[in-house]
Chains A and B, each alone.
Chain A
Amino acid sequence: MKKTQLYLLALVIAAIGLGAFYYKWRVLNFPIRATEQTELWEVQARVQFQARKGPNKVTLQIPRDPPGYDVIDEKFVARNYGMNIVPGKRTRAVQWQYRSARGNQALYYRATVYRDQHPADYIDPPPLPAKPGVYEEPYLTARTTVLESVRERSVDSASFAGELIRSLAEPAGDGNVALLMERVKSLEQRAHLAKSLLADRQISARVIHGLPLTQTDATVSLMPFLQVWDGEAQRWDTISADNGVEGWPEEMFLWSISQKPVLEVEGNPRARLEFAVQSTLDDALEVAKARLEAKDKNLVAYSLLNLPLQTQDVYRILLMMPIGAFLMLLLRNVVGIKTFGTFMPVLVALAFRETRLLPGVILFLTVVSLGLLVRFYLERLRLLLVPRLTAVLILVVFLMAMVSVVSNKLGIDQGLSIALFPIVIMTMTIERMSIAWEERGAAFALKEGIGTLIVAILAYLVMSVDWLEHVIFVFPELLLVLFALTLLIGRYSGYRISELFRFRALATDPVEPVPPKAG
């Protein structure tokens, strides 16, 4: 009964850890590799106009939670202008105002955009039914004829709109189309013409704008798209205003669905709007952090990522300690290696982090063996325990200083990279080892000493795996999985591997084992 409870607890804890990990990895896109890079797009809209006398008011439609993309940062650059954001229904505009502008004016909107393929998280309300306009001849006949011929080739409102766009795109063959297209010069105007034609048939349509994020360092222009309302599916179907192809291209960044002009400069129709896009690569972790911040500040504020950098470095090491401790648990309780103390090997492994492995092992062996020699001599002087420990500590500091000085002379810099921490660990090791030496004999002490060193080296190797360090730091919840595994091993009652060796003689004993008879 107690075991079931334990298994259940371990399962729940592991599930929580894995769930949080999966959410951060897949949904929040935290990178699993340290060097992972994410593509970011810098999108810039530049408004240029000649200021006129009196107050100037500029309204620019800007993106608002575009589906498929995350705006992680935005900047408004307009010197001297007063600025405010005007939110609309699923739209957003920035309004710049300045009373006494003079000469050529340039205003900027910059956004840093990350492609995350998230779907639109809102449902569009049905639009008002479209009202047909009033037209004179010969336009009325031309419109009716064009619409009739398109109707022949379509099945629903979306394909109807697509066919319409396609016939408008080829005015050469058809006199009626040519008539309608007489004054239509741009894609934008073509889209609006299609919209008004659809209105003749009571089909609700709107023109929206997207920015293609395909070429980097390119000057691009907004692409108009025609959307028609599908009354059955209760959604807008998108049709390219250029070639009538249905659907929203993936690399298209939805700029605005506002039916107002994208740029409005009061009393200044000659204002120009230019777009530039640029793709950059950025550290995936930074991007994930910035996106999270844009979504919910608290999630980042209460995570390790927001700590001061020095503290983060400490945690990078600290969070690896459980990994080392877990490895030691496996080696001790499942394999059966004997070590000094319970966590001594992990501490030694931490000391190796400061010195690197090979110099660390050499330094460790040198200082410990020299320390042992001194310790044996002190033993002969009959010192009490605590004074003896202190004396050993002082000598260890001296030995380390000597090693540093000598290695510096020889031009090896590893000897210098000594921190405070290893000294304490070495002193403890020397004392433990000498006690074991006296009490249990040299063989025993050396066996435990070598065991400690082996576990420490393995723990160091595991703890210095870069991607593991990165994964644990970015996803500390994985330690919960480790915690669950530790709970499970906590009740491991099978044989240790060393026991198989120790009791091997029993397995070969000719005496046939008979369990005591019941009853």
Chain B
Amino acid sequence: MLNPFRIAKRLRAIGLTGIGQRNAEFVLMYNQRRNYPRVDDKLITKKLALAAGLPVPQLYAVVREEHEIEELHEKLRGRESFVVKPAHGSGGDGILVITGRRGDRYRRSNGALLAREEFDHHISNMLSGLFSLGGQPDHALVEYCVQFDPIFDNVSYKGVPDIRIISFLGYPVMSMIRLPTRMSDGKANLHQGAIGVGIDIPTGITRRGVWGREIIREHPDTESTIVGLEIPHWDELLMIAARCYELVELGYVGVDIVLDKDLGPLILELNARPGLAIQMANGNGLLHRLRRVQELEQQGTLSRDPAERVAFSKANFPTL
């Protein structure tokens, strides 16, 4: 099928939301600019989540100035594994996952050893704003490295798989799990080559995945099936996504959650402009579901109770 008009017609039928529509009708309309720092600065997100009693990875240290990098090694002396990330990073850029040490050097999650000065340089780049939106000076967060749930061992190549749930006005409308591959270098980022696998909202069971522009059913590295996996703690995950609406007061938000084998779900970050690949992963468009919530909005029957919203989503938004 190559006729662009037929493609467009078909995509409209399944309710695929394009980037223009996402921006014009959802991000611009439902996300107030002044609330953006709550999600763009991961430190603020973390503080808000802690205040609201939502689970987040424990914060070990914050580096704001160049000279604090030296002290950081001292602070991290007792830690075997941790994650360094820019507070204003986007799309997983600049995140450094350290899983061990060897003498003075740090071992990254992909097995490579990182000399101390390379580690320092990376953080210095972070502070200069190399990874932040718009390049403004940034600070670096050092936090707990998630010990991810072994259920995903067969379907991820190194790195941490995470679960993205899009919450519209507090209703979880669509979700996927992102699995790192050899191509993505252990990062759970779709445009770097990670797999997105759509999750059925009512059941928490994976349906089908997307890798690049290809629709797949097996993990390209491990050949294990990615269809029919049951996500543990599913109701809890949905509840977290629903409660994030009150947390940051953004109508259209993507919630990224990881599953820790001991601590359960932890919020990694929130995103005010979540990507559209989730539709590919689900094989479903977002638009019909978003319109359904907009109907509630027009009727004035939006619920203020997260549990009620989750119940509505579970009843209405199955991934076929």
Contact = CB atoms under 8 A, between A and B. Distances in A.
Contacts of B284: 513
B251 to A, nearest CB: 16
Interface in B7-35: 7-8, 10-16, 18-21, 23-25
A128 interface: no
Contact of B93 (A439, A491, A494, A518): A439
Interface in B279-316: 279-280, 283-285, 288-289, 292, 295, 316
Interface stretch (A93-101, A118-126, A231-239, A499-507): A499-507
A516 interface: yes
**DSSP class of B's interface residues: helix, strand, loop or mixed?**
helix
A440 interface: yes
B225 interface: no
B117 A509 contact: no
Interface stretch (B44-52, B124-132, B258-266): B124-132
A505 B215 contact: yes
Interface size class of A (residues with CB under 8 A): 35 or more
Interface residues of B, number: 49
A500 B283 contact: no
Contacts of A501: 213
Contacts of B316: 516-517
A253 to B, nearest CB: 60
Interface stretch (A50-58, A71-79, A379-387): A379-387
B18 A499 contact: yes
A494 B125 contact: no
Name which of A386, A493, A506 has the most chain B CB atoms within 10 A of its CB. Answer: A506
B94 interface: yes
A493 B24 contact: yes
Contact of A493 (B21, B121, B192): B21
B112 interface: no
**DSSP class of A's interface residues: helix, strand, loop or mixed?**
loop
A42 B129 CA distance: 69
A492 interface: yes
B295 A518 contact: yes
B131 A492 contact: no
Interface string A35-54: 00000000000000000000
Contacts of B279: 503, 506
Contact of A514 (B10, B117, B320): B320
16 contacts: A382-B117, A439-B94, A492-B20, A493-B21, A493-B24, A496-B20, A499-B18, A500-B7, A506-B14, A506-B279, A507-B10, A507-B14, A509-B215, A511-B320, A516-B289, A517-B316
Interface of A: 333, 336, 382, 384-386, 435, 439-441, 444, 491-497, 499-509, 511-518
Interface of B: 1, 4, 6-8, 10-16, 18-21, 23-25, 93-94, 117-118, 121, 124-125, 128-131, 191-192, 210, 213-215, 279-280, 283-285, 288-289, 292, 295, 316-318, 320
Across chains A and B, which 7 residue pairs bring their CB atoms closest together, nearest first? A385-B128, A513-B14, A493-B21, A515-B288, A507-B10, A495-B18, A493-B24
